Each structure stands twice: as C-alpha cells, then as structure tokens.
Structure 1
C-alpha cells in the first residue's frame, strides 16, 4: 500500500450524519431567509451552508440553478467555484510534496523549463503565495480571439514574455497565472492530468463524488448551475468566458454538500498531514488588501478566519472558516452580483459568541 493510501481509509461518518440530520437546523428566527431574499424566487439563486462543530446547522438552496427551465437550487447543486478552486490546487501540490514527487521550494523551471529567463528565480512556493511576479495572463490574451484558453495556453502566453511585475519573492500580487501553472506542475509531477489527479486523490477519497475540475467533452457536471448576469434589468445567461476553461485558477464545480466533506477533511489528517495543513493555513506573505492581511497557500487569512472568494462571469462564491470555533459558512451563487463575503460574515455571527 502506498503511504498516502492509509490516510484515505474510511471516511468519517459526516456524510451519514448529514443525511440523517444529526444536527438541528437553524431556527426560523436565525434570520437567514431574510438575508437571502434577493436570491429567492424565479431568479438566479444561491446555496448556503453553515457547519458548526462538524455538523450542518443550516443547509438550504434559494432561487434557480437554471432560470430557463425553472430548476431550483438545492444543496446538491454544483456551482463553478472560480477562485475558491485555488485551495484544491494548493492541496494537490502539498500532496505531491508529501509523496516526494516535488518540493514546494523547487524552481518553477524544473517543471516548466520553457519559461523565459526572467522566471529563473521563481519557485513553487512563490506561485502558491502570489509572490512570483508573473504577468496576468488575462492581460496577454488577444481580445479578438474568442476561443477559450486552457492552462497550457497560459504557459504559452507567458513563454513569450521575458518580463515580470517584480523580482520573485519581493512583493505580493494576486496571480491567476501562478495557479494555472501550478495545475501544469501537478500534471507533470504526478504523471496524470490535473483534473484526474484531483478526482482520484482528493474528490473521490473524500466522497466528493459530484465535484469536478470541469472539462467540456470530458466530464458532465451533475445538477449544474448556470451563471447569469443582470443586463438592462433582465437576467441573461453568462455562463462562460474565454478564461472559463482554465482549471488551476478557478475551474472546479462543487456543491455545498461536497464542500462540507472538504471542510471536515481540513480538521484531521485523512487527506493532508498536519504539517501540510499548517503550511496552507499559515501567513506566507503580507498583502496590501484590508480584508486579506495575509495569504497562505490557496487561503486568505484574516486573524482567526481562513477564507477565499471566487468571482467569474456569472458566479460569486465564498467560503469562510473559523477553525478555532469549528464554524464554517459557504455561500455559492450563480449570478454576477453581489459578492457574498459580507453576507457570509453576517450569517456567521448568528453562531458566534459575543466578542468573537
């Protein structure tokens, strides 16, 4: 048996307790339905999950996953996570480090040697913590080209540019480019492709059976929510853009029910060793952003809170974790507005003690 397989042995009974309803739902006076009014009815909706002490205390869908045919949002509805995906990309790198397949301090060009000389000093650690200085691939794309780009196309765009924003390791700049390249590194180091690695090493072992790093023509997302934007007072489907096929920075689809299983795995060693989790959750770099004083590996860090948002065309999502309080709030929505971070904080306060 490979070393990593022993840590994936029996899952906890979380999924059973969810189905059995072992934890009480929030009482009606919790006021969450009132906070979610704009998502309810025949409009693009949202799914809300609150986990407290390892149990779901609120789990509900609002509005529509598919506006055209009236399909409602449920706890099983799968949303495009956008940048919430980055925590899974980081976890994949950490798993491969545990396997001895790579080191997070490897030079990036050990794995992607075709990058120009300006990348000589870059390391995987710097990509994980957004301190590489890589150019934003979105700014390098041809606006006249309507074809979707993939992770490998991001590499090709960056190979043509022998310039960066700053010397590697000297500053912070949030970088989708870095996480797209990390997905390619996962593929090279594992001998698999990124989507298959996530499926076999993270999603299926944790029971996240409906979660995919989605690739058109390769997999089918069950219970899929489609993204919408409000244009001239009407909701119009805006589900895909030219960057929606890039997986490492934002291509995962998941539901609140599957993310509950992910959250549970972050409290023990069934997936990652304690030291790896500590690396992901520790401040790797300071940032200039007021709500994000520090960034770890795929996680924003604000005091005792670990969180990440995800914004892409037609989707706005957030996960906020308070590990010391064993409290997590997830809000997934299939609309372009509003960003739900402030909403998640309002919901979390209903389960927090005064002063927390």
Structure 2
C-alpha cells in the first residue's frame, strides 16, 4: 500500500501532480498513456482527499494539448449513474414512482412493453430490444434519445418477460432520460445541470448537445488504425444522452463521489437504492447490478465505453476509497488499471475483482 501525503482538498483548485513525481508503481501502470498519444486523467480519493490527481498523454493530438485533471471526457456508460440519480431525485420529490409503467410516461412504447416499469429500466431487467441492434440501414446522421423511443415503438417484442432476467440495456437508459424530461418539465441536460451538477459544484460537467453547449477542456476521442491514432470522437449513437452522453472531468467526479456518502443530493433510502442488489447478472466481476452501478462484494463500479473513450470508476465505500480513470482512446480498457491503482492505495483484495 502506498502511503502518501494527500493533496490539497478539492474544495480549492489544487495543482495537478507532476507525473514525474508520482510513485514508480503508478508510473509503471500508466506507461501506455505517456507521450504524444491519447491520454488518461486519473484520480484516487480517500476520505474525500485526492491522494493522486494527475494526467498522462494528450487530450488533443492535432492541437498538441496535453491531458490534465480538468480535461473533460465523454463518460459513456458512467453516465448511467447520473441518469439513475435523476430518476431517484424525481421519486424523492414525489413526481414519479419507480413502479410506474414505462408506458405511463412514454405511451408510444409498443404493447409488448406494457409490463415494463421504471425499476426494470433502471436494473436492466426490462427485456427491451437494444436500439443499436435495430438502427436503420445506411444511417447517415446521429440518433437522439427521442429517436430511440421511435425505433423501439416499432419493435413489438422483448427478449424476455420484463423482470424475469438481466440483459444490459442502453435502450432502457435512453428512455429514462425521456422520463426525466416528461416528469420534470425540463430537458434532460437542464435537469442534470440544475439538480446535480450545479449543486455539487461540478462546474464543467455537461450532457453535451452539439450546437447547444460547449465542452470545456475537451478531450477528443481516438482509435488505432494502421498503427496510428486517428480521431474517432463520434459515432451515430454518440448523441444519445441517457445512456452515455455526459462529459466531465475527474475533478467533477470527485464532487460526485463525495455526494454518494451523504444526504446532500439524495436522502436515504433513495441513495441506497443505487447500490442495492436489484438483480443478479452473469457478467464478469458483476454478481449484481443496482441502479446505474455494478456491485462486486466490497466494491461498486462501472465502466464506460464508446468510440474513442474508455473509462472506469471503482469505489470501496467502507474504506472511503475511490479510483477514477478517464481516457480518450479505444484501448486498453481501464477497469483493470483502476483495480490495480486501488490495491496500491489500500483497497481490499477480497471481492475487488482480478
């Protein structure tokens, strides 16, 4: 276990650690991200204090902009925990019930979805068809959450009876963003900004809509092709917000992590529902899924993967320890890296995955 003096509290604006000053064990783990390559921003928190806050590589290869802890990455499926929190806030407000049929809020869903509830959408037990598998052939534009609803409206079938099994579903979380809009009377980005980002001081977090807002300190996504890194920042599904459309920095996520330990945003038992084992899964390192979180013994975690981005957040709540890795490249997946960093800083071995 590394024993380092913590950095300044994130309530201020601490300087990033010089990557040359971090321990050799950390340098070795981040070797693939060093130099003129797509980078990674990394944060290790204990008791709300950053033990490691640094970045490697580049946020923008073409412009020569290095990655920093303030760089904002497309969170991809790390977004789901915020979508889940938005639904829970509305339930806490009495604006909706987790047992509401999805068709109460989205009546254009097909008859096959009649038994699907918001709980099923949150816990990936709806059985709804994955919209990415039924996108129109020759699609030459980006789809949005409303397009997902339209696509699913033409799919009068489910993979299994709602509530009877688990299948990870981007469709479900795109629909949940639309439920947030209809139950709150606000668009999804505005609701997140007013109810989550602004109250927590997540100054650069945004549910990004091209042409409507600007991503501060933006990290652009890249993929390898022919031995070189090529910008691949967007795909036809990158504009869907509920399942993956938030951009944020590790500094933003430090403030989010703090809010998961107290009542500043969600009161108990609402906050606890995010981490309750709502359904068993057959995924590696995921015995159970909560609402927007994967549960694995002592740890709660989630990964985020979309074209040009790979991210992970792993939390060990009993130890008040959390690791965040955000990267603007399509490989490698950072979940093993986050686990390795966690172990360096005192995460328990049992139940923490490989």
- 1: CA distance, partners of 2:209 / 2:97: 28
Listed one character per residue, the Cα deviations across residues 203-240 of structure 1 (whole Å, up to 9, x for unaligned) are 01100010000000110001000000000100000000
Q: 1:107 to 1:353 in 2, by over 3 A?
A: closer
CA–CA distance in 1 between the matches of 2:171 and 2:11?
39
State the match for 2:235 in structure 1. Answer: 241
Q: Distance in 2 between matches of 1:164 and 1:62?
A: 44
Q: CA deviation at 1:15?
A: 3.2
State the TM-score, normalized to the length of structure 2: 0.94
Match of 1:176 in 2: 170
Q: CA deviation at 1:352?
A: 1.3
The 2-side partners of 1:242 and 1:355 are apart by 39
Asked if the contact 2:298/2:348 (under 8 Å) is kept, the reply is: no
The unaligned stretches of length 5 or more in structure 2 are 1-7
| Paired position in structure 1 for 2:120 | 126
SS at match of 1:215: coil
1:16 alignment counterpart: 11
Alignment-derived partner of residue 272 in structure 1:
266
In the alignment, what sits opposite 1:154?
Answer: 148
Equivalent residue in structure 2 for 1:334, among 307, 312, 328: 328
TM-score (norm 1): 0.93
Partner of 2:198 in structure 1? 204
Corresponding position: 1:113 with 2:119: no
Q: Which digits, 9 at most, give the CA deviation of each residue in 1:125-168, with x for residues without a partner?
A: 00000000000000110230120000000000000111110000
RMSD: 1.8
How many aligned residue pairs are there? 342
8 Å CA contact 2:127–2:158 kept in 1: the answer is: yes
Alignment of 1:1-356 (within 5 A): 15-16=10-11, 19=14, 28-29=22-23, 31-352=25-346, 355=349
Contact 2:123/2:292 (8 A) holds in 1: yes
Q: 1:354 to 1:46 in 2, by over 3 A?
A: closer
Decide whether the 8 Å contact of 2:73 with 2:220 is kept in 1.
yes
The residue matched to 2:14 in structure 1 has which SS?
helix
Answer yes or no: is the 8 Å Cα contact 1:148–1:245 preserved in 2. Answer: yes
1:262–1:14 Cα change, 3 Å: farther
Check conservation: 1:330, 1:344, Cα contact below 8 A: yes
**Structure 1 residues 314 and 26: alpha-carbon distance in aligned structure 2, compared to 1, 3 A threshold:** same
Distance 2:348 2:267 in 1: 33
| Structure 1 unmatched runs, 5+ | 1-12
Distance 1:89 1:326 in 2: 23
C-alpha displacement at 1:44, in angstroms?
A: 0.3
For residues 170 and 220 of structure 1, what CA distance do their matches in structure 2 show? 42
